[in-house]
Amino acid sequence: MKLLRFTAPLTAAVSDENRQTAMTVESRAGEGDFTIWVRVFSDYAAVPLTLTAADLPDGAACALLIHPWRIELWAGGRLYDEEWPCGTLFLTDVTKDAWVGAGISVTDDPEAGDGANLLLRGPDFSTDCGISANDGSPRIIGRLLSEAGENPAEGWKPADPGVFAGDCMPYTDRDPNGAERYHVLYLKDRRHHRSKWHKGAHQWAHMSTRDFKNWDLHPLAVSIDDPAEGSICTGSWLKTAEGTHYLYYTVRRTDSGAAPILRSVSEDGYTFRRDPGFRIVLSERYHGQSARDPKIVKAEDGSYHMFVTTSLATGDLAGRGCLAHLMSGDGLTWEEADPIYVSPDGDQPECSDYFALNGWYYLIFSHRGRGQYRMSKKPFSDWRTPENPDIPCESVPKMTLWNGRILFTGFRRIEGYAGTLTFTEAAQNPDGSLRF
């Protein structure tokens, strides 16, 4: 970890021992305030990572916290921006004299972990979604409270500067007192999918409610922990009969290799850690680089099923988008079956979901962000398209059953990918179709 401190406004450029530009700081005056841009250079890409803090007063104390996997820009005890590096940062070879000459103080602590940001937080610091899954945050980091009985999460996004809500992954679980709690995991987004050289650098944020009037905000469930991780993609939650919680997801790689399916584990459902022994890569039958959005289902016979967004890479249907289907008897060893769904064209069906209700089975996915469903009287097969298959919940809605109600969660876009949360309820018709 490297901690750089300076006072705004500052305009400076720092080079490494090979005279390569390692970092620049640019300040521009507004009406009584300043905006700063910090650009960090590396050997991964010619374009630097840029972090921004706006509306800063003259004399604002700024800090740049640099880990190999994450960079944080702080000012006045507030987190303004984040980026996620890869490769070798040229600033690792900048001398102390060069930093001092640019008006920047430097502290090195190679052993410091994610909790180093605790030292930079002001007394009034708050975050709606968290910074890391590994910084020791408490189980509840904030709350959304209803003022007049409304759902305060409808149209909501985190108040953290520059943060939006992306793909949502709702599920339900019971509190120790027996109350059914509705959880939403969502992709924490900065820059509308343009962070980390457009890889996304998404991480899983977490919130929950017992009544849709008051929500608890929890720490990040899954964060980027390795420079080689381009983004944590959408996935799903599963709880075993023994009470262990699992989160399944793929990781987009910075080397453009096949995206592995990984998982995190928790005993309490709020503090998760990576499971280093779990890793699945799709066979060459599929386009491994685009694999994402694993949905895990425990069937009525106790077997496990996994649906993964991808495309067929071989055979007569090569190039068609599909949901790969994997099966397991124990949740550890998986075998590929035929895809559970194949698109009519090359568009990949995203963010799949699955549920059973009153003898009917439902498969959910999205094409180009718009949710659809299929239905069947058999689990995992014989899907048919209802008269109106559309799910009116923008974008990529997923669902869960909460106190007998079918509730979908998605996001409304703001200027590109990600935006604010939105919710839609469905009911089951006598013929098994859904009405909204």
Q: Which CATH code fits 142-435?
A: 2.115.10.20
pLDDT of residue 32: 86
| Model pLDDT for residues 392-431, shown as the tens digit of each residue | 999 999 999 999 999 999 999 999 999 999 999 999 999 9
Q: Tokens 């949710």 appear where?
A: 371
Question: For the CA atoms of 382, 388, 392, 398, what is the dihedral angle to 10 degrees?
Answer: 0
Bridge partners, residue 235, by sequence? 249
Q: Looking at this protein, which amino acid is placed at residue 135?
A: D
CB 177 within 8 A of CB 184: no
| Token pair in block for residue 116 | 């180093």
pLDDT of residue 406: 98
The Cα–Cα gap between 381 and 362 comes to 10
Residues of the chain with confidence (pLDDT) below 70: none
As a three-state string, the secondary structure of 73-85 is EEECCEEEEEECC
| Model pLDDT for residues 370-392, shown as the tens digit of each residue | 999 999 999 999 999 999 999 99
As a three-state string, the secondary structure of 385-421 is CCCCCEECCCCCCEEEEECCEEEEEEEEECCCCCEEE
Q: Which CATH code fits 2-120?
A: 2.60.120
Would you kindly state where each structural domain of the chain is located, as residue ranges? 2-120, 142-435
Give residue 207's Cα distance to chain centre.
13
